[in-house]
Chain A
Amino acid sequence: MENEILVDKAKLIPAVQKMLTEKARLGTASCVDLGDKFEIIYHFEPQASAEPLKHIRVKIAKGDTLPSISKMYLCAVLIENEIQDAFNIQVDGMAIDFQRRFMRSKESAEVELVKPAAYAPRAPTRLPVRCGEACPAGIDIPRYVRLIGEGRFAESLAVIKQTMPFPGILGRVCFAPCEHDCRQYRQEEPIAIRMLKRFAYDHATYEEKKPTNRSGKRVAIIGSGPAGLSAAYYLAKMGHGVTIFEALSKTGGMMRVGIPEYRLPRKVLDEEINMVRNLGVEIKTDTKVESLDNSFKDGYQAVLIATGAHQGIKMRVEGEDHPKVIECIEFLRNVSLGKKVDLGNRVVVVGGGNAAIDAARTARRLGAKEVTVFYRRSRAEMPASHSEIEEAIEEGVKMEFLASPKRVLSKNGTLSLENFRMQLGEPDASGRRRADIVKGSEFSVDVDTIIAAIGQRPEIPGPFDLRIGPANTIVVDTETLATSKEGVFAAGDVITGPASVVQAVAVARTAAIAIDKYLGGKGLLPVEEVKVSDPTSRHTFLERWQKKEKRVEMPRLATGKRLQGFDEVELGLSKAMAVAEGQRCWRCDLEE
């Protein structure tokens, strides 16, 4: 502080005496515990009050006594008694000594303001945040969002890469449960976390560190979908030799054959798969694994099954064996692999999930004039993501709610779908409202093609001889993801049923750790530290409360252009948009 006068204990009284002769007024005295000693600061106001305060500072050892100045300044007597009480310092020669009964009752603590022996200032800690907790992959969301707000895109990408290997893919196709849990979601303006992830991938580069030590162990992974690729990525990083077996002719699994190209450009997918390849992972396409025992014979110490859920579920209605009734997942796969699919003009998609919307939008792009999605509940209950429904409607997809198929009729070469009209009842166990059939409400529509998008389930070859649970999934240990067979693990949709890419990535990480431990490793994933300074402030409540900032709008391809091909619909954020969006974050991870 300014105007300090440092004195030792012996010089205190003369220094105060000098203040008295200068007619300075005693403001107060502050006592501070410095750990090994006490410091007492006397604050004086000079006679001319325009002058700044003067401070006499004296340090005394713990256990030492303090001479009283109350003979000169009577008003110091209360302050000194307080210091004596609160700091357990003996003050000698006070004008009035309250005998340590000044500010203390019988019940009060022995010494109140003295710091504990092992005192150290508490370092700022980060708080758990809702977005980060909602992320299956456990990405440090507030940090990467903040770094984009600060214009540090490369560091931001590195933060994402700490826990999730595919920012390019997930920046495009993630369902973003984080955004739903963002605190600004209540104002209907959650941070565009997914778009920022994509932005970081598009605008920054990240150099993968190749594994330095080799374990000499080999792992076979069946399936090159998100789960298989992530597990391969992590296992390769931990130094294991990894081979992926892919039954189809192309890699990527559901990311390639289930997600249409207008949502996930194949260029991005290939880039990310090549990134995994560059870590030394071998991928064998067109190789269907029929026997696990053969894998072990071929020299693999562990096998991970990540075959996903590629088998469409039937509608279970009369007449669905008609060749023009096709399964959604098969349809999407055929389109993705470049096979010719003849749809005709009138297409009905049955189902309300993301796959149904994907099929409908793909059908529009293939030239179907009239595409209708039949869903048995109403729009509010639709499991498909809101923005995709919006985009589908923009592209001319019609929605027929409260309609459930009764049977498929074919007469004289014309195909028609007979439906029940439904009505919504009470919410069921899943929280959605139950759909009940309205009696006598059947109606039928003439169609050229019916796409059944009821759902998918895993398809597991019989010779695997594993314990199979409900909905044809593989039963695994929830912690280690080990199956009923020694050395065989499973991850992704094959154990959960159809889920999301991010869940597959997250579970594959757990599987990689479990496999590493099984192979004798410590299960430690190499995480690259990102050296960035932490922020020191979060938004004040006023910024949160008064300035309602709008969520950034993703620029989209014009509707007319969309239907001409499979160009990506979302165009990506500009730098200015991304930075503004990053700054909009409230930084809930900081202490208030």
Chain B
Amino acid sequence: MAVRTVIPFGPQHPILPEPIHLKLELEDERVVGVTPVIGYVHRGVEKAGELNSFRQNVFLCERICGICSITHALTYCQGVEALTGVKVPPRARFLRLFWSELSRAHSHLLWLGCLAEAVGFESLFMQIWRARETVMDLLEMTAGHRVITSTCLVGGVSRDIDKEMAREVDKRLVALKEVLDNTAAPALLHDPTIKRRAVGKGMLSKEQAEVLGAVGPTARGSGVAIDIRQTDYAAYKEVGFEPIVETAGDSYARTLVRAKETYQCIELMRKSLAMMPGGEILVRVDGYPEGETISRTEQPRGELIYYIKGNGTNHLERLRIRTPTFANIPTLLVMLPGCEMADVPVITLSIDPCISCTER
């Protein structure tokens, strides 16, 4: 007769600095049930979104998450632009794509490093985070800040990238690709340690992913080809985009999706800089948002949904934010049961949980 125990995973755990608590039910070493608990650092951003003016909300939404602050601002701006009938200039759309992809590269590299650390591969962790530093430098160079960039505004973007800077960015992106070719790619593709920790662990079938509403790399690792970048926002249609899909549905597949997407990010950024048309980057927004809309973008972790309801004043009636991690937490309910206790950290990490997003 197996011994049934309940082990708390988090809210403080070395693998995940952010507070999510998983109540793990174990039979001996095997997980049989899991209950996720969040709410430790809930910040009431949705309420604050009703109290601030709609222009100020851009900066509020940016602060929901440090890594994907650009995408939050972008999603919000797109929604408000739809409600106020503003048409964003083409150059601004290309710049928005550039920064979205830069933040995605940042996020994925950060996560790949974390994964390497979680499996105990310290040197790979260092190598990947060194590559990530290039991305951070690019963020600082183009946006003036490494984390909260404030590049996105209602009506366009706040900064331009001139030709000289674009050339420099392109040079550094090529160098970044080379670094990844020599470090992350061979390790992730061929290293047996990583494979033994990730292959076949945390299985999520395509059907399960669909019914659980998985998004982003979590869904794409299970063969569900959902990626909001396929719908036309920013300049993805002009630049051209195909989602990266793996079918295995395990932690390794999700790792591969993220690794390949990092390469894809570099290509998208280079293309957007090369194809960027000239002209204005910001238009004036007249009028107050009225009506309701859904705005969706693809965050590094998946689909981000904003429901925005305006009432024709400077303040919104309702700002609802559904972050990708919030949608991915239910997948843990099927990924974790059946696995070994020792695999829980890597599997939990494989959905790339961002609790600061979830606890908006």
Bound Cα distance A108, B35 (Å): 22
Q: Determine whether A175 belongs to the interface, using a CB cutoff of 8 Å to chain B.
A: no
Bound Cα distance A259, B333 (Å): 86
- Min CB distance B18 to A, Å, is 15
Asked if A537 and B284 sit within 8 Å, CB to CB, the answer is yes
Q: Determine whether B182 belongs to the interface, using a CB cutoff of 8 Å to chain A.
A: no
Q: Determine whether A410 belongs to the interface, using a CB cutoff of 8 Å to chain B.
A: no
Asked if B213 and A75 sit within 8 Å, CB to CB, the answer is yes
Q: Determine whether A412 belongs to the interface, using a CB cutoff of 8 Å to chain B.
A: no
Asked if B286 and A78 sit within 8 Å, CB to CB, the answer is no
Asked if B211 and A73 sit within 8 Å, CB to CB, the answer is yes
Asked if B55 and A592 sit within 8 Å, CB to CB, the answer is yes
Interface size on A, residues (CB 8 A): 48
Q: Determine whether B305 belongs to the interface, using a CB cutoff of 8 Å to chain A.
A: yes
Partner of A30, one of B226, B315, B318: B318
Asked if A537 and B287 sit within 8 Å, CB to CB, the answer is yes
Closest A residue to B313 by CB, please name it: A121
Asked if B40 and A542 sit within 8 Å, CB to CB, the answer is no
Query: A1-B293, A74-B211 are contacts. A102–B38 as well, Cβ < 8 Å?
Result: yes
Bound Cα distance A535, B314 (Å): 12
CB neighbours (8 Å) of B37 from chain A are 98, 102
Residues facing A in B320-346 (CB within 8 A) are 320, 322, 326-327, 329-330, 333
Query: A78-B329, A592-B55 are contacts. A122–B315 as well, Cβ < 8 Å?
Result: yes
Asked if A535 and B213 sit within 8 Å, CB to CB, the answer is no
Bound Cα distance A312, B313 (Å): 57
1/0 per residue A113-151: CB within 8 Å of B?
A: 100000001111000000000000000000000000000
CB neighbours (8 Å) of B225 from chain A are 49
CB neighbours (8 Å) of B288 from chain A are 124, 536
Looking at A33, A112, A121, which has the most chain B CB atoms within 10 Å of its CB?
A: A121
Partner of B212, one of A75, A113, A541: A75
Which of A21-29, A210-218, A263-271 interfaces with chain B? A21-29
CB neighbours (8 Å) of A98 from chain B are 37
Beyond A1-B293, A102-B38: 18 further Cβ-contacts under 8 Å? A25-B226, A27-B303, A27-B322, A28-B307, A30-B307, A30-B318, A41-B307, A49-B231, A73-B211, A75-B212, A86-B46, A102-B39, A103-B38, A113-B46, A121-B315, A535-B286, A537-B286, A542-B281
- Across the A-B interface, give the 9 residue pairs with the lowest CB-CB distance, nearest first: A28-B322, A75-B213, A30-B320, A103-B39, A30-B307, A75-B330, A121-B311, A537-B286, A32-B318
**A→B interface (CB under 8 Å):** 1, 23, 25-28, 30-33, 41, 43, 45, 49-50, 53, 55, 73-75, 77-79, 86, 96, 98, 101-105, 108, 112-113, 121-124, 535-537, 539-543, 591-592
**B→A interface (CB under 8 Å):** 35-40, 42, 44, 46-47, 53, 55-56, 153, 155-156, 158, 210-213, 225-226, 230-231, 281-282, 284-288, 292-294, 296, 303, 305, 307, 309, 311-315, 317-318, 320, 322, 326-327, 329-330, 333, 359
